[in-house]
Chains A and B, each alone.
Chain A
C-alpha cells in the first residue's frame, strides 16, 4: 500500500556546510518503511520547481515524551528544490508519497560467515544507515564482526553519520576526495585496497551500496574483478515516482532466456538493483 500524506516538520537542521537533517511526523507511515525505500516530497505549492524530489529515509526515531515515530532524512543542497527544502522550518507541512521503491533485500542467513561491506558515497550513507540499524535488530551481536562500512565524500565536512555508525558498533573506513580525512581518493579505491590486502574474496563478500552513478559504475567493475555479490541503490532524475511516467529508467541485463536488455524503472523496479545487473549508459 502506498500513501499520500502531510508531513509535519519537527526539525530541519544544518549538520554540515550544505547538508541538512529533516525530521518529520508523518502519521501512519513509519511502520511501513523498509531500508532503501524513499519518499517523494513536494517541496512547495509553486509550479516552479514543478516535480517532486525523492529522498531516502535514514532513520526512524522515537520522539521523546510522546512515543511518536519521526521519519528522518538527510539531504545535500544541490539545486533549487533542495535549497527551498533547506529553508523550511518547524511546523511547516510537506506533501509526501511513500513508501516508494522496493528497498534493500536483507538476505539474512545468506550472509552467514561472509564479509559484508556497506559502501556509501556522499548522501548514499542515508539508506545504508537505515539498513545497518535494521541489521542490528535482526542479527546476533557477533554479526557486526563481519561488517565493514566504507564511506566516501568530497571532503571531511560532508562525511556525515560516521559517529552514528560508530555508535552502532560497526567498523568504519573513510575516504575523502581531497584527503582532508581518511584515505585520499574515491571510496571504491579504498575498497579495492582492502580487497587486495585482505584477500577475502574466497569468502564471497556481499556488498550493499548507494552513491553517485560514477561510484556505482566503479563498484560494478570491482565486483567483476573480485567476484563480489550484492545490491546497489541507484539515483536518477525522477518524475512521478510511482512507475507511470517511465522517466527514471536504467538499462538492465535480462537474464531469463537470453532476451535483450531492457529498461527498468528506478522508482518502481528499483531503486535497488543487483550488482552488475545494470548496463550503464550515461
Chain B
C-alpha cells in the first residue's frame, strides 16, 4: 500500500498523518507514548525570534466537545530552539516543520533564514494565532475597533506581503497556516498561493470565549481564546474543502480530527495530509491509531494508494 504524500517534487511525507503546532510540544514530550518515527511530519510549537512568556492564566477552558486556549505563543525563542530542541528533532525520521510567528515581516524573514542556516528544511508561517497582537500595517484601519487582535491571515494583502518577503529570501519548503476567522477563506488562500507558499495548512483556532456566571468574569484571563477540538470539525472541513478547490498547491487539513474517519473526510475534501491537534491531549497515541485506521479503510475499500482518495468527494 502506498501511503507516501508528495507535497512537491522534492518534499514528501511518508504518510499523511502529522501533528499540529502547539499540541505536540517539541515531540520529545510524547516519546514514551508513541513511536515518533511513524508520523508523517511533526509541526513544532510556534517559535518566535525572542523568548515569549505567553499570556497570564487561566489559559485553558474546556467547552462542549472542545476547548479554548489562550497560550499566547509561550516559547524560548529561536536561538534556544536551534540549540536545545532541534538536535533531538533532527534525528527523528519524520519531516520536521518549524512553526514560526512574528508581529512583523522582518522577524518572519529573520526566523526563516536563521532556521534555514541551522539545516531546517521546512517552516510553517503561523499567520493566524488568535492570542497575540500582530502589527499588520496593511489595511490596519479596517480591523481596528472590532475588539479582536489583528492577524496577517485576516487580510489577503498582508498575507501576500509577508509570504512574498520570506519567499524571496529562502529556499525553505514554505507552509502557510491560515485562520478560520475570515469571511472568505478562498481569497486568503489564493493570495498565499500567488505569493509563493508551497502549501497551506488550515485551520487554526476560532476566536471564542466563555464566561463564569458566578464570578461574572471571562473564563480566560485573555478574555478571548481559540476554540479547538471535535466541536469545530464541520466548520473546519467546510473551510478546507473551499480552500482546496480554490488553489493548486497542497493543503494540510485540520480542525477537530479525532479518528481515522475524520481524517479521511478531510482527505476526501481535498487535503493531501492531515494534522492532529487537540486529540493528542485526549490520547497521546492517537496519531498512530489514526494512521492505522486510514490503512484499514484503504484496505477495506481495496485502494492501494492513499493519493487516490484525495479530493474524491462526489458532488453529484
B300 at the A/B interface (Cβ < 8 Å)?
Answer: no
Q: Contact flags (1/0) for B62-91 with A, using CB distance below 8 Å?
A: 101111010100100000000000000000
In the complex the two chains form, what is the Cα distance from A225 to B152 in whole Å? 50
Residues of A within 8 A of B309 (CB): none
> Which one, A47, A244, A245, contacts B230 given CB within 8 A?
A47
> Which one, A1, A95, A242, A249, contacts B29 given CB within 8 A?
A242
Total number of A residues with any Cβ neighbor in B under 8 Å: 36
Contact A244 B25 (CB under 8 A): yes
B57 at the A/B interface (Cβ < 8 Å)?
Answer: yes
Interface centre among B53, B56, B62, B71 (most CB of A within 10 A): B62
B30 at the A/B interface (Cβ < 8 Å)?
Answer: yes
In the complex the two chains form, what is the Cα distance from A220 to B283 in whole Å? 36
> Which one, A4, A49, A262, contacts B285 given CB within 8 A?
A4
Number of A-B contacts (CB under 8 A): 109
Contact B281 A51 (CB under 8 A): yes
In the complex the two chains form, what is the Cα distance from A2 to B33 in whole Å? 7
Contact B54 A246 (CB under 8 A): yes
Contact A4 B33 (CB under 8 A): yes
In the complex the two chains form, what is the Cα distance from A191 to B56 in whole Å? 31
Nearest CB of chain B from residue A277's CB, rounded to whole Å = 15
B59 at the A/B interface (Cβ < 8 Å)?
Answer: yes
B195 at the A/B interface (Cβ < 8 Å)?
Answer: no
In the complex the two chains form, what is the Cα distance from A21 to B285 in whole Å? 28
Residues of A within 8 A of B69 (CB): 239, 245, 247
> Which one, A236, A243, A244, contacts B57 given CB within 8 A?
A236
Contact B60 A48 (CB under 8 A): no
Total number of B residues with any Cβ neighbor in A under 8 Å: 36
Contact B74 A245 (CB under 8 A): no
B23 at the A/B interface (Cβ < 8 Å)?
Answer: yes
Residues of A within 8 A of B67 (CB): 50-51, 239
Contact A243 B74 (CB under 8 A): no
In the complex the two chains form, what is the Cα distance from A263 to B221 in whole Å? 14
Contact A47 B56 (CB under 8 A): no
Nearest CB of chain B from residue A37's CB, rounded to whole Å = 14
Contact B60 A244 (CB under 8 A): no
Interface residues of B (CB under 8 A from A): 22-25, 29-30, 32-33, 45, 53-54, 56-62, 64-67, 69, 71, 74, 221, 229-230, 258, 278, 280-285
Known: A47-B230, A237-B58, A249-B59. 5 other contacts (CB 8 A): A2-B32, A52-B282, A237-B62, A239-B67, A282-B56
Going nearest first, the 3 A-B pairs with the smallest beta carbon separation are: A247-B60, A244-B25, A2-B32
